[in-house]
Amino acid sequence: MTDLFWPGDERAGSAMSPTSFLSAMVRVEEAWLAGLVSVGIAPHAAKADLAGLVEPADADRVAAASEAGGNPVIPLVSLLRNRITESNAEAARWLHRGLTSQDVVDTALMLCLREALDGIDTEVTAQVAALVRLADEHRSTVMAGRTLTQHAVPITFGLKAAGWLGGVLDAADAVAGARHALAVQVGGAAGTSAATTEFAREAGLDGPAAVAVALAEGLATTLGLASRPPWHTSRRPVTAVGDALVTATDAWGRIASDVATLGRPEIDELAEPAVAGRGGSSTMPQKQNPVLSVLVRRAAITAPALGATLHTAAALAVDERPDGPWHAEWATLRTLARQAVVAGSQTTELVSGLRVNANRMAETVASAHAALMAEQRSISGEDAEADPTTYLGTADLVIDAALSRARARPGRAP
């Protein structure tokens, strides 16, 4: 995909694309149909390969027909039935039975979000490795610490990188939690699975309600999602993903903001990776704009509002299936997830190739020595020139703690 309104969108690939969503909905329908057969509700002849019935071009057709019913499942089911009736009338008859549109949309969204979270997890792992290296290599690179835009006390660039690392590790934890929250949705018309239970009763199966539950659990297993009771109006699986994505863009935004600030010509302590053709201006030949930082900050600015939309929708999810709040989630999730995947890729490139100007950092420390050591003088009462490297407090311990946390990630030791 490409998006003139969001430069770099192609980095997200197929994540949360219309064709991916279409394919995910078909996967849900096919897995459910197979489940109906496996528990003995539908005849063996009803099992069918539905994936071969649709193609990417069908996304536009389904989208155009979605307005009439307010969601894409209705026209998709109609399309599938039309295409399979001649070759497999039983599959056409049992297709979608026991499900409701929200079951299919929600479960398909979970599949699509998993792909996006997988991509972000890959980026975060690369970021952790790069930041571990920066924190360790520059634990003794003294620079000016700044608070409220002014010189404060000496720190090291290793300490700053360790702070970035902590934020990225928080994001990694949030993403892992969100992946565990991805759950199958099966509840039927009002979350009671009444239709599935009735089908099981008509088929003469023992414990029809238990069969309905087992069918939902089987769908979860087939699709690799968590199993939980119907959550039509309990939207934590959605908000958990939104929160994780915002946590990630927060961490990346902080890094990008520091790089953009410390890369100003009058500071010149950091610089983005040098890439031919990047960072230029349409009119000013001298410019070398920090484009990666700018674009990452863009995502960090927009993500919280998108996350808030998901929480607002969750709070207004009335009755047994909501009228509007549910519908507001789909595009919001698409936008938030794709933009986060893009920002994650850009942040990985940023930290992996970050240029650290240690000499410039040392010059700044020397020129601002009096201000940077003012706190130490106020404590010791001495006016003698103090060495900034002796006033770093617990910097090394903070770095070590961040590195230990990073290296303790299961199977991810940088």
Task: Give the pLDDT confidence of 71-99 residue by residue, as tens digits.
Answer: 999 999 999 999 999 999 999 999 999 99
- For 107, counting Cβ atoms within 10 Å of its Cβ (0-12 exposed, 13-18 middle, 19+ buried), the class is buried
* Confidence tier at 383 by pLDDT (50, 70, 90): confident
Active-site residue set: 281, 321
* Confidence tier at 216 by pLDDT (50, 70, 90): very high
* Confidence tier at 109 by pLDDT (50, 70, 90): very high
Please give the mean pLDDT across all residues of the chain.
95
Q: Is the pLDDT of residue 376 over 70?
A: yes
Using H for helix, E for strand and C for coil, what is the string for the chain?
CCCCCCCCHHHHCCCCCHHHHHHHHHHHHHHHHHHHHHCCCCCHHHCCCCHHHCCCCHHHHHHHHCCCCCCCHHHHHHHHHHHHCCCCHHHHHHCCCCCCHHHHHHHHHHHHHHHHHHHHHHHHHHHHHHHHHHHHHCCCCEEEEEECCEEEEEEEHHHHHHHHHHHHHHHHHHHHHHHHHCECCCCHHHCCCHHHHHHHHHCCCCCHHHHHHHHHHHHHHHHCCECCCCCCCCCHHHHHHHHHHHHHHHHHHHHHHHHHHHCCCCCCCEECCCCCCCCCCCCCCCCCCCHHHHHHHHHHHHHHHHHHHHHHHHHCCCCCCCCCHHHHHHHHHHHHHHHHHHHHHHHHHHHHCCEECHHHHHHHHHHCHHHHCHHHHHHHCCCCCCCHHHCCCCHHHHHHHHHHHHHCCCCCCC
Q: Where are the domains of the chain?
A: 9-407
Phi and psi, residue 336, nearest 5°: -60, -45
Q: Is the pLDDT of residue 275 over 90?
A: no
Check if the beta carbon of residue 71 is closer than 8 Å to that of residue 39.
no
Express as a percent the part of the chain with pLDDT over 90: 92
Q: Which CATH class is domain 9-407?
A: mainly alpha
pLDDT digits (tens, 9 = 90+) for 40-74: 999 999 999 999 999 999 999 999 999 999 999 99
